[in-house]
């Protein structure tokens, strides 16, 4: 199985060169979002929206795939602590903690009327979003937006021996197309097995692959490997 496509644009937030992390720069990137919606954005959602703003033009209607291993887990964990302490939580706070909350806010803020898919990829990591993208290409779409995002796990959850999290938040947005210009890639599955961890550990490998113009990226899972190679 393989799929050919092009990466038209891609972006990372926070930037790898640390030149745009000034809060004023982030506010500028979020300036087009209505104030009522902006107030609902968690720190993770703000990071996601910054990456998206750098990747697609405003008022772009595009099918979107959001992929996150942990989603708004920190917010959910905080609410569980509140419940344990006998406090009440608001319906709004709960609605903004579910796994598809950021996708819903994106649809409203960007007036995006095409479908959004939200996945929790598990050990397959970033490959799950690309598999979903191939399905959208097969359905006739010529352009797809992938957004990969995660926060570090809260300290309550054990880190070892599991490969589930990193120490920093990171978001990568990619505009993929099967026509036109861009970085031509081929995505395929291979038989070799291994364990490169889940999505939070795989995203830095993807950034390195794209930014350093490497010929290929191979990510190992306990069942097989996924390969991205430049054509």
- Concatenate the DSSP letters of all residues of the chain into one string: -EEEEEEEEEEEES-TTSSS-SHHHHHHHTTTS-HHHHTT--HHHHHHHHHHHHHS-TT----EEEE-SSTTHHHHHHHHHHHHTT----HHHHHTTSTTHHHHHHHHHTT--S-EEEE--GGGTTHHHHHHHHHHHHTT-SEEEEEEEEPPPPTTS--SS-----SS-EEEEEEEESSSSSEEEEEEEES------SHHHHHHHHHHHHHTT-SEEEEE-SS-EEEEEE-
| Domains along the chain with CATH numbers | 2-184 (3.40.47.10)
pLDDT of residue 18: 58
Please state the rounded mean pLDDT for residues 141-147: 97
Q: What is the pTM of this model?
A: 0.89
pLDDT > 80? residue 55: yes
| 199-224 residue pLDDT tens | 999 999 999 999 999 999 999 999 99
| 146-184 residue pLDDT tens | 999 998 877 766 676 677 777 777 899 999 999 999 999
């Amino acid at each position: 199985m393989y799929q050919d496509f092009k990466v038209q644009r891609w972006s990372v937030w926070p930037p790898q060169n640390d030149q745009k992390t000034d809060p004023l720069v982030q506010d500028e990137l979020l300036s087009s979002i209505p104030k009522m919606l902006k107030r609902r954005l968690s720190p993770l959602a703000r990071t996601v929206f910054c990456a998206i703003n750098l990747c697609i033009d405003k008022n772009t209607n595009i099918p979107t795939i959001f992929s996150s291993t942990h989603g708004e887990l920190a917010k959910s964990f905080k609410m569980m602590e509140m419940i344990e302490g006998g406090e009440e939580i608001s319906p709004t706070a709960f609605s903004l903690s579910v796994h598809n909350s950021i996708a819903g806010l994106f649809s409203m803020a960007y007036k995006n009327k095409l479908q959004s898919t939200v996945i929790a990829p598990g050990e397959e990591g970033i490959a799950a979003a690309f598999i979903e993208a191939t399905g959208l290409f097969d359905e006739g779409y010529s352009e797809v937006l992938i957004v990969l995002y995660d926060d570090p796990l809260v300290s309550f959850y054990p880190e070892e021996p599991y490969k589930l999290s990193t120490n920093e938040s990171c978001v990568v947005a990619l505009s993929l197309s099967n026509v036109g210009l861009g970085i031509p890639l081929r995505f395929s599955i291979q038989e070799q097995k291994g364990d490169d961890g889940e999505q939070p550990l795989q995203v830095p490998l993807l950034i390195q692959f794209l930014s350093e113009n490497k010929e290929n990226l191979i990510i190992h899972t306990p069942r097989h490997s996924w390969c991205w190679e430049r054509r």
